Amino acid sequence: MQDQDLVAEKAFYDELFEGNPENEHITSGYDELHDLAFPSPPEGRVLDLGCGTGAHAMRIARRGCDVTAVDLSLHGVRAARERFRREGLSGHFVVADAEHLPFAANSFEVLWSSLLLHHFPKLETLPEELARVTSSRLVALEPNAQNFLSWFAFNVVNRFWGLSLTTRNQRSMWPKSLERRMARAGFRQTLIQYVHRAWDDDASALRLVRKVHDTITGLLSQRFQANKFLVVYQKTS
């Protein structure tokens, strides 16, 4: 059973990546994220699942990792391969559905997924598939539902009306709910770090809303201020 509209996902990202083969969903702070994800270089292979145009895969490969980049979009995978070629980096590139990966069990020591899990509203089968191909560790960067604007944009507006810059599958995630779901698949959470990656707002009204929101949440803890969180899981079974 599929947990997302694959046709809509593929069409959306094929168009996005064909038009902008160097599209990057975040535009800064990669080193901070990768320092958290890879405190020491993994000995085995790294899977970048949902690689897009290779923004993370390329930077992880620069760290000396053996990277396999996978995405549902052929245009995304082609773009990632071309970026690797231009930089003289080695990698492996596969077009595949995340819920049905063409890899043997325990093929990768570390699975990196940036802004992937929130494309699966119910996470019905994906965590078990991730556990199947991963031998040691899973790292995920996701939108934080504890941030009010992220919750409202993804879980209310996008769910019922849709946003032009996302697919209808996407929801922001509650870290505790995700931790419980990943535990059922055989993962134990070892780290959570809240990180903020600001959006660019073209409309002045949106900038004002964000300014008011940031002023209010500035009095709260980081888990309410940050619009994303990075979480590390260790495989336990």
Least confident of 57-61, 191-195, 209-213, 228-232: 209-213
**Boundaries of domain holding 46:** 6-143+169-198+228-235
Residue 42 inside a domain? The answer is yes
For the chain, what percentages of helix, strand and coil (3-state, to nearest 5) are there?
40, 20, 35
Identify the band that residue 220 occupies on the pLDDT scale cut at 50, 70 and 90.
Answer: confident
pTM of the model: 0.92
Q: What is the pLDDT of residues 142-151, one digit of tens each?
A: 999 999 989 9
- Share the mean pLDDT of the chain: 91
In a domain, residue 107? The reply is yes
Check which CATH number belongs to the domain holding 75 and give it: 3.40.50.150
- pLDDT tens for residues 21-55? 999 988 789 999 999 999 888 999 999 999 999 99
Task: Give the pairing of strands 66-71 and 45-49.
Answer: parallel
**Is it the case that residue 199 has pLDDT exceeding 80?**
no
How many CA atoms within 13 Å lie on the side-chain side of 13?
A: 26
Segment (H or E) for 35: helix 30-37
162 found inside a domain: no
